[in-house]
Amino acid sequence: MINAGIIGGSGYTGGELIRLLINHSQVEIKFVYSTTRAGTKVSATHSDLLGQTELLFSDEVDHNIDLVFLCLGHGNSTKFLQKHPFSETTRIIDLSNDFRLEANSSFESREFVYGLPELNRDQIQKTKYLANPGCFATAIQLALLPLANAKLVNNAVHINATTGSTGAGVGLSPTTHFSWRENNMSHYKAFTHQHLGEINESLEHLQKNKGKLLFIPNRGNFTRGIWATAYTQYKGSESEAIGLFKDFYKEAPFTQLSEEAIALKQVVNTNYCHLHVVVHDEMILIASAIDNLLKGASGQAVQNMNLMFGFPETEGLHLKSGVY
């Protein structure tokens, strides 16, 4: 058993992390830190946990904890660690974008490893400090890694991906307001989304001088999940392409290639990524679907924790979607 703490447990990713960890056989949550909700029940904020836990939010931090999860807004993890010098034995999993890029992966004496298990499993198993990938980044990388590994990303890749409203976080804004979001759709940060940096770095580790990524992110009128499609020029057969993907993910328990067309509901409330590959007229199309709060955030954080501590990779992540 390990003792874990959560910093920033009142948001969507914090709530999902609590839900996963209270059902994990090898973890005990020692504190959920919040300066604004200290002393109140976690289930009062996360009503889906009513009857499942009696945990209270706390304004105290145990700096000698075995593992701490940072579920803070982007830019705030660095500030928190500067104020809270955790023990050298404390392992850290950061769910923000503070340490994902190679240029930002060093913090004081710590070196953060980029935590995409399908790409960096060996490094994850050895590290004490981990940067959890972004949600769009996870869905898109899993769609493209097998092609980059085969040096086949030689032309521009056109990517269109739509995320649910929880991707914007728990804070209110005009574009997360029900009246705006319902029966509506829009794009944002076209060609400039912040997740492009980590996607490009991962792909370039496998293929130098790859084609350009042209990414259009969209806001969907649903709450959870990411649906992404990517297409580019490809001169092989469909069976050859499917073989590339099956071989690349043969040891990946949560990334599954479907022979049939996929749908978003298949992965919502799970830690799975489902992929589907089609080749037509020298073009390859990859569809990728994940739950943005699980495989795109908290579920992947638990998957990484399992690898870091030598637990079975799927422990605590046996979740089922509801497709009806």
CATH topology of domain 135-290: Dihydrodipicolinate Reductase; domain 2 (3.30.360)
- Which residues are designated catalytic? 135
pLDDT at 78: 96
pLDDT at 36: 87
pLDDT digits (tens, 9 = 90+) for 155-176: 999 999 999 999 988 877 888 8
Q: What is the DSSP string of 270-291?
A: SS-EEEEEEEETTEEEEEEEE-
pLDDT digits (tens, 9 = 90+) for 261-296: 999 999 999 999 999 999 999 999 999 999 999 999
Which superfamily does CATH assign the domain made up of 2-132+297-309 to?
NAD(P)-binding Rossmann-like Domain (3.40.50.720)
pLDDT digits (tens, 9 = 90+) for 33-85: 998 899 999 999 999 999 999 999 999 999 999 999 999 988 999 999 999 98
Q: What is the pTM of this model?
A: 0.96
Integer Cα distance of 311 and 302 in angstroms: 10
Is 261 in contact with 242 (CB distance < 8 Å)? Answer: no
What value does the mean pLDDT take over residues 201-213? 97
pLDDT at 251: 97
What value does the mean pLDDT take over residues 124-145? 98
pLDDT at residue 151 above 90? yes
pLDDT digits (tens, 9 = 90+) for 307-320: 999 999 999 999 99
pLDDT at 177: 83
H or E element: which one contains 227? strand 226-233
Domain ranges of the chain: 2-132+297-309, 135-290
